[in-house]
Every structure is written in C-alpha cells, then in structure tokens.
Chains A and B, each alone.
Chain A
C-alpha cells in the first residue's frame, strides 16, 4: 500500500463479500484505509461502489469477512451500538436524501439533536456550518425549493456538522454542473484538511484527475490492482 506506514488504519476490510441472492456485488475485498486519507473508489456502474460504502456504516451487513472501523468489529457490534458507529461517519448519499418536509436548518440540526447536544450549541454549530457551505440565508427554506447544487451543499453540511472522523460521499458531484461540482469538492477537501478521512465513490474521472488522493478501482465487485500511486 502506498499510504505512509506511520499512519494508522481507521478502516480495515478482510475478505469481505456481499451477495444479493446469486449476485456477487462485492467479492473478497481486502483493504486498509488510513487516518486522514483522501480516497476515491471508482469503477463502472454496478461495480459495487455504493455497496462498499454501505457496508462501512452498516447500511447493510457484509455476507462474509471482517470489517473494522476505528477498532469496532462490525460483525460483532450490538444493535444498541450502531448509532455510535454511525456517528463516526458523515454520509453524503447518492441522491441527497434530505427530509423534504423539514427546513434546511432542521435537516442539519437533526444530527446534533440525535447526539443529544444542547439547543444553543446546536443553533451555533448549524449556523456556522451553513455559512461554511454558503447557505446561511436559506436556513428556513425547504429542500425542494433549492437547486440541486444547493441541496447537495445542505447534504454536505449535514454530513460534517457533527464533526465526524470519516466522511463518506457517494457520487457527490454526479448530477451537478461543473461549477457546483467544484464547490462541493472544495468543501470536501477543506473538511479533509481538518484531519478527517474522506472516501468518495465516483465515476467522474475528470474530478479524480484534478484532486490528490488514492484511487481504488472496482470492477464486477472485485478490487483491481492499484495501477499508479497518487494521481498528481
């Protein structure tokens, strides 16, 4: 692996399989992701990128193999501790997944409420993160009244407001125009500079080309050998 050897793996996968009936969505995945890495997972549609991300936060269970996240063994974790696991992640879903009936503010603050934080702190943090993504004046808008790029920024705000160690993004720029995509990528890089591990599933090669990070390739649910080290 080309990650610096002094760094600690925050995510480890050993012989992980995921099957949907007879379909092998992921086959024998072994992988270490290190703290503060910036990782792209890429590959053609149906390669298993989204599935891989889902396994990490137990959106779905692995069919076989072991996954460790920050020392937690996902195969053994009790149901009660799943929220604890998920709070280590900020997740940007493939299709935003904002709650349409709640305002921008409420969508973002939900994360902190679920963590049981104090109301005045929540207010402060949410306003601050909305400023970061440039939506401070849209806090009382409903998601569907926003543009795609703006909705994705809300999703980013929700993902980072709890200050998670790991940021997962599934096609964060997939449906955006180039300039909105640039804004989102800049936000993710900025969060990475704060010390977080960032994992992005994408087939946007142009974006990968423009960004420093390790590229992991999937095809038909298998890891391809690493062709190059960091892309320039």
Chain B
C-alpha cells in the first residue's frame, strides 16, 4: 500500500502541472457548489426560526357575541395544524397596544370607544413547518363563522420560501453537474497520464505486472486529486465564510441565529464525494484506455 502511494505521489509529481490544474478545477467546483449549499443551509435555518415565530391572528367580526367565544375556540383547536388558540378580547387588545405605545399614549387618549375587534392568537403545532400548511390553515379559519380577517406573517416570507425552494433545486442540479464535471476532469487527467506512460505501462505488463498493480496507483491518484481539491475548496469556503460572517450586521438577524459552517459530518461527506468523483474519473478512463 505504502509503495502504491509512493508511486501515485511520484506520478503526481512527474505530471505536476497537469495535476495542479486538475486539483484547482476540482477545488473551484467544490467551492462553488458548497458555497451554494452553505448559503442554503443557513437560509433554511433562518426560515425555520422565522416560521417558529409565526402566529396566526384571527380577528373577529365587530358584532361577534361574547357567548360564542368558547364555541369558536373549540372549533379552532379542532383544526389539525392548531396547537392552541388564545382569546384576546378587545380590552386585552387595547391593554397590549397601550403597552406597546407606552411613550405615545396621548395618541390613544382621544379614543372614545375601543375600536379593536376581539381576536384569537392561534399557535401552530411544532410539526407545522411548511409555509403552504400555514396558508391552508388561514384559508380554513377564514371560512369559520364570525371570522373577519386572518393575518399570518408577511408576504415576503412567502416569497422567500419560494425562492429558497428554487435555490434548493438549482443547488442539487449544480452539485450533480459539478460532480460529473469532476469525474470528467479526473478522467481526462488520467487519460493524459496514461498516454504519457503508455510505453512504461506496456513494459510493466511485459515484465509480469498484474493489471491491479498497474491501475492501483492511478485510482489512488484520482482519489488524492479529489481529496486535495475538495479540501482546498472547503478551506477556501471556510475562509470566505469567516470573512463574510464577520461583516454581517448582527442586528439584521434574529438573536438566536448565528451563521454556521458545515457540521463535521457534512464536511466528511463533501470530501468523500469529491474523492469518489476522483476515483470514478480514474475508473472511467482506465476502463476505456487499458483494454489490451
């Protein structure tokens, strides 16, 4: 094994320029696709946080009878997405408003009557993550008797979710493309190495070297290229990540949120993927070229 590694390293050294280009290309592919992945992961975590904060406010019609409150509550809580429905009477509502407007109380002092409607604050079950479920729920509540208006989150959150979905698709597509590109880059490098070594390989065969002995270092080279390129790409991404997350104004993000790098398991998976791509590249080329 040690000897095979030595031969692979010697090969890489002898074809230094070619290998450098290959590794750089792999690094770039990994950098771009994992930058995408990293953005996506952080954005969806942010999205989840926002969604967890979502409350559906249900405003009742002004003529709603106090007696019907309990009936509506039980009907709300029967909806599968609903965890709990808290009644906020128009007086409670006014009290909250006053609290919020502590310093501008004079604005409210002119009011003769309380203009606020009764309301329910509906909390979602923790299982409800999908934005569409929230929208469906809102539509269902809207149909209940006595409900004037349903308010849930902002429209931009909706659009953000849609963009994120698009991102996810594009991200997967891009990862697949870069994976294939890496395979072909390594395959091409292996092909050129094979070409430059064809006489040597022929001699090895003639002195009794097995196909395994001949191919092993070339597989290893592909794997090494994948590993080095992958590590370089991730290192570049980490540097960019550290730089950019230091630049972000923390006030823009929810307080519980911090921009994170990939967890170790995912880093291992990315490296593994890039090594696999390298190995497949060599394999492809060897299958094609070394038919005697």
Binding site for B on A (CB under 8 A): 57, 59, 79-80, 82-87, 89, 91, 93, 97-99, 101-102, 110-111, 113-116, 119, 158, 162
In the complex, are the beta carbons of A97 and B203 less than 8 A apart? Answer: yes
CB proximity to A under 8 Å, residues B272-292: 292
Task: Mark interface residues in B184-216 (1 if CB within 8 Å of A CB, else 0).
Answer: 000000000000000110011111111001000
**Which B residues lie within 8 Å of A80 (CB)?**
210
CB pairs A–B below 8 angstroms (11 shown): A79-B292, A82-B205, A97-B199, A99-B199, A99-B200, A110-B207, A110-B209, A114-B204, A114-B207, A162-B207, A162-B208
In the complex, are the beta carbons of A114 and B200 less than 8 A apart? Answer: no
C-alpha gap A89/B206 in the complex (Å): 9
B194 nearest CB across to chain A (Å): 14
In the complex, are the beta carbons of B206 and A114 less than 8 A apart? Answer: no
A67 nearest CB across to chain B (Å): 17
**Which A residues lie within 8 Å of B102 (CB)?**
none
In the complex, are the beta carbons of B206 and A111 less than 8 A apart? Answer: no
6 smallest beta-carbon distances between A and B, as pairs: A114-B209, A87-B208, A86-B208, A83-B208, A83-B210, A111-B207
In the complex, are the beta carbons of A91 and B207 less than 8 A apart? Answer: yes
A201 nearest CB across to chain B (Å): 16
Q: Which of A91, A102, A113, A119 has the most CB of B within 10 A?
A: A113
In the complex, are the beta carbons of B203 and A83 less than 8 A apart? Answer: no
| CB contact between A99 and one of B3, B203, B213 (< 8 Å): that residue | B203
C-alpha gap A114/B3 in the complex (Å): 11
B214: nearest chain-A partner, CB-CB: A114
Binding site for A on B (CB under 8 A): 3, 14, 199-200, 203-210, 213, 292
In the complex, are the beta carbons of A91 and B200 less than 8 A apart? Answer: no
C-alpha gap A84/B199 in the complex (Å): 20
B220 nearest CB across to chain A (Å): 15
A87: nearest chain-B partner, CB-CB: B208
C-alpha gap A119/B5 in the complex (Å): 14
| CB contact between A111 and one of B199, B208, B292 (< 8 Å): that residue | B208
In the complex, are the beta carbons of A158 and B3 less than 8 A apart? Answer: no
In the complex, are the beta carbons of A113 and B3 less than 8 A apart? Answer: yes
In the complex, are the beta carbons of A158 and B200 less than 8 A apart? Answer: no
Q: A83-B205, A91-B206 are in contact. List 8 more A-B contacts (CB 8 A).
A: A86-B208, A97-B206, A101-B200, A111-B208, A114-B204, A114-B210, A158-B207, A162-B207
B186 nearest CB across to chain A (Å): 22
B5 nearest CB across to chain A (Å): 13
| CB contact between B207 and one of A79, A84, A86 (< 8 Å): that residue | A86
C-alpha gap A115/B199 in the complex (Å): 19
C-alpha gap A79/B213 in the complex (Å): 14
B292: nearest chain-A partner, CB-CB: A79
Q: Which of B207, B208, B209 has the most CB of A within 10 A?
A: B207
**Which B residues lie within 8 Å of A101 (CB)?**
14, 200
User: Are A110 and B204 also in contact (CB < 8 A) when A101-B14, A119-B3 are?
Assistant: yes
A4 nearest CB across to chain B (Å): 30
**Which B residues lie within 8 Å of A99 (CB)?**
199-200, 203
**Which A residues lie within 8 Å of B204 (CB)?**
110, 114
C-alpha gap A114/B207 in the complex (Å): 8
Q: Which of B14, B199, B203, B205 has the most CB of A within 10 A?
A: B203
| CB contact between A59 and one of B3, B14, B206, B213 (< 8 Å): that residue | B206
A29 nearest CB across to chain B (Å): 22
**Which B residues lie within 8 Å of A162 (CB)?**
207-208
**Which A residues lie within 8 Å of B200 (CB)?**
99, 101-102
In the complex, are the beta carbons of A83 and B209 less than 8 A apart? Answer: yes
**Which A residues lie within 8 Å of B209 (CB)?**
83, 110, 114
A114: nearest chain-B partner, CB-CB: B209
In the complex, are the beta carbons of B199 and A114 less than 8 A apart? Answer: no
**Which A residues lie within 8 Å of B203 (CB)?**
97-99, 110
